[in-house]
Amino acid sequence: MKKYIVLLLAAALVLSAALAGCAPQKTNLILATGGTSGTYYPFGGSMAQIFNSKIANMNVTAQATGASVENLKLIGKKEAELAIVQNDMTDYAYAGAEAFKDAKVENVRVIANLYPEVIQIVASADSGINTLNDIKGKKFSVGAPGSGVEANARQLLDVMGMTYNDFSANYLSFSESADSLKDKHIEGFMFVSGVPNAAIQDTATTSNLKFISISDDMIKKLIDKYPFFTEIVIPAGTYKGQSADVKTVAVKATLIVGSEVSEKVVYDLTKALFDNQKELAEAHAKGAELSLENAVKGVSVPFHPGAEKYYKEVGAIK
């Protein structure tokens, strides 16, 4: 009898091991986002929840980072599989320009453009800054060193005929810029993010702010020289104390992926993103700006084959 029990237990163990071997393995992916006070981090978290709840055996973890430049380097080093980045930074990384002159990111592939990332120029009410030219001689934050924001600041200054020598440039993150303006260590800052931006909203509750427009001729010069920009308006009332529309420009927040991720995985991610767009919009306001039309428009870096397969199926691309 004991012999039979032993044999039965052995058979059960073998069967259990066999079943475990047949069980589908989880796909674990890191989604590199941005700082906790920006838009990338909470929006990335909302996307991760969609992926994890709608795709079997999927585990996407949203990770706070230094945003676009760092994210692209993480993709290049295969330390993250997914990332949210500015579309202009993706172009630079793939081509080996700007911050990527010595380190091209050849394995970057696009899943989708997500939403516009707007250049937002903010100054304290008593700063004397009413136009971009007024930042001359002021203490002004141009974004974290080497960030997408800082690259866009240089592009904007370029078409204005200005350099960092014309003012006291501070290289601060979103949260650092907001805190420094509140503490009167700087007189203004430039953000490139979704609208509304949480750090600007927070600053507007405790400080009187001015929201600076870019002139029509500067917008034209900027788009002519850097065609990844598009003209956009921040509607009046978006922020506390913003009584008028603000004319400015935008790049696009883009979901990218490493080329080494399988076609099936990326197809499933792309399909889940669009099949559950309404749920994503309920989780984060930026989800309402996601559309098939804009997702594939103006993409200068190759799509991942998994994303391309989905877009062809739904007729978004031929």
What residue ranges of the chain are covered by domains with CATH 3.40.190.10? 27-115+254-314, 117-251
Give pLDDT tens digits for 82-127. 999 999 999 999 999 888 999 999 999 999 999 999 999 999 999 9
CATH number of 27-115+254-314: 3.40.190.10
Give pLDDT tens digits for 237-249. 999 999 999 999 9
Give pLDDT tens digits for 198-243. 899 999 999 999 999 999 999 999 999 888 888 999 999 999 999 9
Class of CATH domain 117-251? alpha beta
Would the pLDDT of 19 be above 50? no
Tell me, what amino acid is at 3?
K
SS (H, E, C) the chain: CHHHHHHHHHHHHHHHHHHHHHCCCCEEEEEECCCCCCCHHHHHHHHHHHHHHHCCCEEEEEECCCCHHHHHHHHHCCCCCEEEEEHHHHHHHHHCCHHHCCCCCCCEEEEEEEEEEEEEEEEECCCCCCCHHHHCCCEEECCCCCCHHHHHHHHHHHHHCCCHHHCEEECCCHHHHHHHHHCCCCCEEEEEECCCCHHHHHHHHHCCEEEECCCHHHHHHHHHHCCCCEEEEECCCCCCCCCCCEEEEEEEEEEEEECCCCHHHHHHHHHHHHHCHHHHHHHCHHHHHCCHHHHCCCCCCCECHHHHHHHHHHCCCC
The pair of three-digit structure tokens given for residue 264, joined into one six-digit string: 């099936």
CB–CB of 252/114 below 8 Å?
yes
